Chain A
């Protein structure tokens, strides 16, 4: 479900990139997301396939998802970076700050980034 709207957000942005570069085809899109973005790569790729099925410029294109590092920010101190290995024993998806040990941290779940797009661009 979530993957479907994320996939259409990706396709919309890539459409704009195709326009910008006057490309005729997109070959490959590489995106990245952290393990806490709650995006299942298989579902994202499936959704991408459904959304682009009727789009000529996306014909035979592939979407690849790479896993990026998780990042938390602490609301008590200024720590921003990777969370400690073990999570909060009490709360799912929560992490203790490795610097000040506060559990008042925020895990960034919006890391999904369009990294590169391979385009076919005709001469002139």
Chain B
């Protein structure tokens, strides 16, 4: 019989991911690149907001968008039409992006060919919060059609964000209400920027660009 040995490890399961995320952040910073992580619920309007951003920013900046989705390339194709370079990562059932998935895509390109990197995370208000992907700023998108309790039920995803977007505000007053969500978001994390947007009309997109620290 071979001897057995108990090895004391005491390491976080997320450690490998987090180390790689730190590395991505460092590389981006040293190259003067911006990298944002857009999280949020399914159908909250992440892709339409990115289409708006791409349409505005592409004349001045080279934008690279990484779309995380369980399947299909629909979102990446939509954003590509607005002038950004896009790539779709199919997580194959996975509920979030990870540093490894981002690094895999960065390995396929020359980072110097782009100025702004944005990842659209998988639509999910729980899992992406635990997985650092190396972005400099985290954005959480919810929409007013999800009901007035969405922030109360999912504060965690807001705690890991620097910017909260309350989208679909064009429907404000039409049976939906942005006030409660904006108030709750402001209450749940002091210092978090809360932006009311309508990706449909373009409301709030300029404010978002400013909040991201992009000169435009």
Contacts and interface: CB of A to CB of B under 8 A. Distances in A.
Interface of A: 1-2, 4-6, 9-10, 12-13, 17, 21, 23-25, 27, 31, 37-38, 75-76, 90-94, 103-104, 106-107, 109-123
A119 B8 contact: no
Contacts, number: 117
B25 interface: no
B189 interface: yes
A93 B155 CA distance: 7
Contacts of B129: 109
A1 B16 CA distance: 19
Nearest to B152: A91
B13 A10 contact: yes
B30 interface: no
B8 A4 contact: no
Interface string B79-119: 00000000000000111101000000000000000000000
B190 A115 contact: no
Nearest to B124: A1
Contacts of A90: 152, 187
Closest 4 CB pairs of A and B: A1-B95, A112-B13, A114-B9, A122-B2
Contact of B3 (A103, A114, A117, A121): A121
Contact of A9 (B7, B17, B154, B156): B17
Contact of A110 (B4, B8, B12, B155): B12
Interface string B53-74: 0000000000000000000000
A104 B93 CA distance: 33
B117 to A, nearest CB: 22
B197 to A, nearest CB: 23
Contacts of B190: 75-76, 104
Contact of A116 (B2, B3, B9): B9
B100 to A, nearest CB: 9
A66 to B, nearest CB: 13
Given A2-B127, A75-B190, A116 B8 contact: yes
A17 B7 contact: yes
Interface in B1-53: 2-17
Name which of B3, B7, B13, B98 has the most chain A CB atoms within 10 A of its CB. B13
Contacts of B11: 13, 113-114
A2 B95 contact: yes
A27 to B, nearest CB: 6
